[in-house]
């Protein structure tokens, strides 16, 4: 068997999230794959537009909802532009799932604070829905989400849905200058809003962070000042990948392969790695 051979998937639905971000709802064309495929929140896959290449995206849907899987991606280069041009009914290639998972057993009974920036909400969305579908096992859920502008916020419909749910707090923010006259959320960078306006308690809490490296750095620092310890902070890294299988040596930080040992890491694990991420 060729480990690089993708499975074929049909795009059942396309959702235009922002001018350059789309969500695809996907189903396997092979009936056996439809029945046997499984994954856990935090894992990623390689998605190919034929003739363009492959890209790594997280699986953005929840393992508690297996009628289809979803990815959400920004068009930034060759392959993502190829994928962006596909329509409902078209076929793409899929390899996965790969990588480690969010340790939901360690989240049980805790208050959970999800903190995401921009296109980094999709990896969190998988675990958010996973937890909200089993809400009785977890404490309060907070979702702090920021984007450059109101137009750049993804999953707007789900942010509204989460806001209406019991035991869930949603804090939305856009960068200064990114607001519109109708904007009802906060204005300011995520770490600033987190520390000054929201200020979550570290008691019996875990913060799950995903975003660009600079946002992760400043968010870790803000949470540290709020009293969170490194074993209360978990993140998922987006180092560039190619094979996803530990073979090409493209994603490593020192001797750690993000595709095999991650992409999910506790802050205390990251603190031991060379400062390359
Ligand atoms: C574990 C993981 C999960 C990811 N999940 C998502 C997701 O859910 N949605 C999403 O839109 N993107 C995600 N990414 C980033 C995504 O893989 C890249 O944006 C994509 O592969 C770019 O492919 P391309 O061929 O279009 O771009 P290329 O033509 O290869 O490059 C275009 C531009 O994108 C930059 N680029 C390429 N890959 C990355 C990367 N990994 N990080 C930062 N910059 C990059 C290049 O430097 C260049 O500026 C994830 C990456 C990883 C490793
Ligand atoms: S992506 Fe190839 S070794 Fe990790």
Q: What is the DSSP string of 99-126?
A: S----HHHHTTSEEEEEEEGGGHHHHHH
Which pLDDT value is given to residue 240? Answer: 85
Q: Using the mean position of ligand 1's atoms as its centre, give its distance from the Cα of residue 168 in Å.
A: 30
Instruction: Check if the beta carbon of residue 251 is closer than 8 Å to that of residue 240.
Output: yes
Which residue minimizes the CA distance to atom 52 of ligand 1? Answer: 238
CATH 3.40.50.80 fits 104-236, yes or no: yes
pLDDT tens for each residue of 134-156: 999 999 999 999 999 999 999 99
> What is the DSSP annotation of 162-216?
HHHSTTEEEEEEE-TT---TT--SEES-HHHHIIIII----TTEEEEEES-HHHH
Which residue, 175, 205, 206, is CA-closest to 190?
175
β-pairing, 233-236 vs 205-210, is parallel
CA separation (Å) from 37 to 33, 125, 230, 246? Answer: 5, 19, 34, 21
Q: Which atom of ligand 2 is nearest to the CA of 258?
A: 4
- Cα–Cα separations (whole angstroms), residue 264 to 39, 113, 114: 14, 16, 14
Which of 55, 96, 241 has most ligand 1 atoms within 8 Å of its beta carbon, as the pocket-test mutant?
A: 55
Q: Read off the pLDDT of each residue in 111-138 and give the average, rounded to a whole number.
A: 95
Half-sphere exposure of 266 (CA within 13 A, CB side): 13
User: Scanning the structure block, which residue is given the tokens 């209360």?
Assistant: 232
- Is residue 277's pLDDT more than 70? no
Residues with CB under 6 A from ligand 2: 241-244, 246-251, 257, 259
Q: Tell me, what's the pLDDT at 118?
A: 85
Average pLDDT rounded to a whole number, residues 19-44: 96
Tell if the pTM clears 0.85, that is, is over it.
Answer: yes
Say whether pLDDT at 44 is over 80: yes
Which residues of the chain are in CATH 2.40.30.10 domains?
Answer: 7-98
What is the Cα–Cα distance from 277 to 275, expressed in whole angstroms? 6
List, by residue range, all CATH 3.40.50.80 domains of the chain.
Answer: 104-236
Nearest in space to 228 (alpha carbons), one of 159, 142, 119: 142
CATH number of 7-98: 2.40.30.10
Give the percent of the chain with pLDDT over 90: 92
* pLDDT single digits (tens) 187-243: 999 999 999 999 999 999 999 999 988 899 999 999 999 999 999 999 999 888 999
Give the pLDDT band of residue 276 (cuts 50, 70, 90). Answer: low
Token pair of 52 as six digits = 């363009």
């Amino acid at each position: 068997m060729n480990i690089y051979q993708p499975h074929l998937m049909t795009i059942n639905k396309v959702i235009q999230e922002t001018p350059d971000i789309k969500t695809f709802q996907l189903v396997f064309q092979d009936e056996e794959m439809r029945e046997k495929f499984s994954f856990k929140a935090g894992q990623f896959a390689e998605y190919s537009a034929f003739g363009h290449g492959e890209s790594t995206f997280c699986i953005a849907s929840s393992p508690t909802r297996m009628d289809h899987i979803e990815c959400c991606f920004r068009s930034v280069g060759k392959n993502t532009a190829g994928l962006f041009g596909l329509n409902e009914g078209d076929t793409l290639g899929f390899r996965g799932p790969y990588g480690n998972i969010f340790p939901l057993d360690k989240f049980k009974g805790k208050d959970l604070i999800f903190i995401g920036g921009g296109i980094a909400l999709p990896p969190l969305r998988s675990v958010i829905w996973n937890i909200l579908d089993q809400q009785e096992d977890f404490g309060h859920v907070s979702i702090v989400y920021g984007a450059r502008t109101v137009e750049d916020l993804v999953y707007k419909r789900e942010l509204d849905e989460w806001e209406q749910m019991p035991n869930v707090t949603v804090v939305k923010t856009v960068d200064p200058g990114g607001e519109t006259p109708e904007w009802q959320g906060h204005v300011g960078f995520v770490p600033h809003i987190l520390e000054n306006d929201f200020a979550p308690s570290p008691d019996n809490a875990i913060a799950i962070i995903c975003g660009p490296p600079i946002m992760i750095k400043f968010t870790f620092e803000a949470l540290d000042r709020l009293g969170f310890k490194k074993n209360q902070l978990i993140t998922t890294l987006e180092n560039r990948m190619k094979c996803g299988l530990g073979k090409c040596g493209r994603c490593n930080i020192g001797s750690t392969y993000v595709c095999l040992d991650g992409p999910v890491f506790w802050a205390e694990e990251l603190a031991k790695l060379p400062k390359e991420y």
